[in-house]
Amino acid sequence: MIASSSAERVREIRRKVENGERLDFDDGLALYAPSFPLQELGELANLVRERMHGDVAFYNINTHLNPTNVCIYRCRFCAFRSDLRDPKGYVMTEDQILQRGQEAVDNGCTEMHIVGGLHHKMPYAWYRGILQTLHAAFPQLHLKAWTPVEIGWFEFLTKWPVRRILEDLREAGLGSLPGGGAEIFHPQVRDQICEHKADAHKWFEVHRTAHQIGLRSNCTMLYGHLENAYHRVDHLLRLRELQDATGGFQTFIPLAFHPDNTQLSHLQKPSVLDDLRNIAVSRLLLDNIPHIKAYWIMLGIETAQVALAYGADDLDGTVRHELIYHDAGATTPEFLSVDRIRQLIEEAGRVPIERDTLYRRVQRDPTNPRHWWVDHSEASAAV
Ligand code: V47
């Protein structure tokens, strides 16, 4: 039974969503309150999702590359990082990186997602060289690489401004920026989980600059650790504010915290209900970001499938070589085949559409699926 004031709040939010009005901070807090029925929240988020994308659900064929796990930082939520002298630490050679590029192309990948640690000894030229080597060998593969945490580190190494670094990386082959490193922007939480690394100001400076020079990027929020609803709403509205100014974000990915092997291993993993609530609230608050991604690696396949009815319109991709979540206890498979992803989307009552990193529809040669091209016809333009 919902208290009458809560019921009124639900009605008011429903009215706003149905009329396409923007939700405010207090609405965000109300959406996160357990008294806001999850089913109704999902229904509203689905209304917006269908308004934006109809029945379509996107996926891509992609792979991950983490060139090193050695990192100067010790973020409390991270199970992936290693100390310089720890036997777990690794640095990939150029040959290994090229092999991964070849494997990606052989598997028909359109995208490689590249992030890693801030290695104590590797110069900026090494990070830039990874892009240059891959781009020269596999020019069709979109390189979505480096977060503001790495870019901030490159700033320190080169003493160049952010804009010059991004332009230099783009020249080397950078296609877009992934959404990582955002965690929770509010200093009350950020100072407890990753106090040394790029703060909210730096994170936004990098994405703003990327958008200004014409690069697209993604954005994320790591939830389910020390933050509360206030910090989550604050985080989402900061993203919405930058998007109002630049329009450069393509997709938002809520990331559920996985505690195993981290300094926060005493915490519980967020529940499926919290996962679905986060998907739905982000669809409703981020009215200006086109896509909401249900990252199946992190949510689990079943929850990601349900999320397609709670505001999400994208499942991410086939994904190979993911380490960040698997090191932190994710039990999802290492990889999903295209047939399986399409089946999951169809079972959820949606129409699967393969996209590239920039959400353009991809066509494949049925006799040779490794051969692909972007469909530029107007009828097939991705939303
Ligand atoms: O920034 C690290 C998170 C992020 C853990 O742009 C953890 O398309 C949960 O940003 N439990 C990196 N989360 C991953 C990321 C991403 C993933 C998929 C797609 C895209 C995209 C971006 O992973 C980090 C951090 O927020 N993370 N450790 C952990 N133990």
pLDDT digits (tens, 9 = 90+) for 9-55: 999 999 999 999 999 999 999 999 999 999 999 999 999 999 999 99
Alpha carbon nearest to ligand 1 atom 12, residue:
180
Q: Are 35 and 2 spatial neighbours (Cβ–Cβ below 8 Å)?
A: yes
CB-based burial label for 6 (10 Å; 0-12, 13-18, 19+):
middle
Q: Are residues 43 and 133 located together in one domain of the fold?
A: no
Q: Which amino acid is at 218?
A: N
Alpha carbon nearest to ligand 1 atom 17, residue:
180
Predicted TM-score (pTM) of this structure: 0.96
CATH number where 258 lies: 3.20.20.70
β pairing state of 362-365 and 368-374 = antiparallel
Q: Are residues 21 and 87 located together in one domain of the fold?
A: no
Cα 73–166–295 angle (5° rounding)? Answer: 60
How much distance in Å is there from the Cα of 376 to the middle of ligand 1? 31
Q: Are 17 and 284 spatial neighbours (Cβ–Cβ below 8 Å)?
A: yes
What pLDDT is recorded for position 383?
44
What pLDDT is recorded for position 101?
97
**pLDDT under 70 in the chain at which residues?**
1-4, 378-383
Best mutation site among 153, 249, 255, 315 for ligand 1, i.e. most ligand atoms within 8 A of its Cβ? 255
From CA 101, how far away is CA 141, in angstroms rounded?
A: 8
How much distance in Å is there from the Cα of 180 to the middle of ligand 1? 5
Cβ contacts of 201 within 8 Å, gap of 6 or more:
none
Residue that finishes a domain, picked among 48, 65, 84: 48
Q: Are residues 22 and 154 located together in one domain of the fold?
A: no
Q: Are residues 341 and 374 located together in one domain of the fold?
A: yes
Biggest CA-to-CA distance, the chain: 65
pLDDT tens, residue by residue, 200-237: 999 999 999 999 999 999 999 999 999 999 999 999 99
Q: Are residues 63 and 18 located together in one domain of the fold?
A: no
Residues with CB under 6 A from ligand 1: 77-79, 178-181, 183, 218, 220, 222, 253, 255, 257-258, 262, 295, 316, 324, 328
DSSP 13-52: HHHHHHTTPPP-HHHHHHHHSTTS-HHHHHHHHHHHHHHH
**Total domains present in the chain:** 2
Alpha carbon nearest to ligand 1 atom 7, residue:
257
β pairing state of 368-374 and 249-256 = unpaired
How much distance in Å is there from the Cα of 178 to the middle of ligand 1? 9
From CA 358, how far away is CA 343, in angstroms rounded?
A: 23
**Which residues in 204-321 belong to E strands, given as ranges?**
216-223, 249-256, 291-292, 314-317
Range of the domain at 345: 54-382
Q: Are residues 32 and 65 located together in one domain of the fold?
A: no
Q: Are residues 10 and 61 located together in one domain of the fold?
A: no
What pLDDT is recorded for position 3?
60
CB-based burial label for 4 (10 Å; 0-12, 13-18, 19+):
exposed
What are the phi and psi torsion angles at 148 (to 5°)?
-60, -20
Query: Which candidate, 93, 91, 139, places its Cα nearest to that of 112?
Result: 139
Q: Are residues 42 and 60 located together in one domain of the fold?
A: no
Q: Are 336 and 342 spatial neighbours (Cβ–Cβ below 8 Å)?
A: no
Q: Are residues 103 and 13 located together in one domain of the fold?
A: no
Q: Are residues 228 and 305 located together in one domain of the fold?
A: yes
Q: Are residues 262 and 333 located together in one domain of the fold?
A: yes
What pLDDT is recorded for position 2?
54
Q: Are residues 34 and 182 located together in one domain of the fold?
A: no
From CA 57, how far away is CA 314, in angstroms rounded?
A: 5
Name the token pair of 108: 């028909």
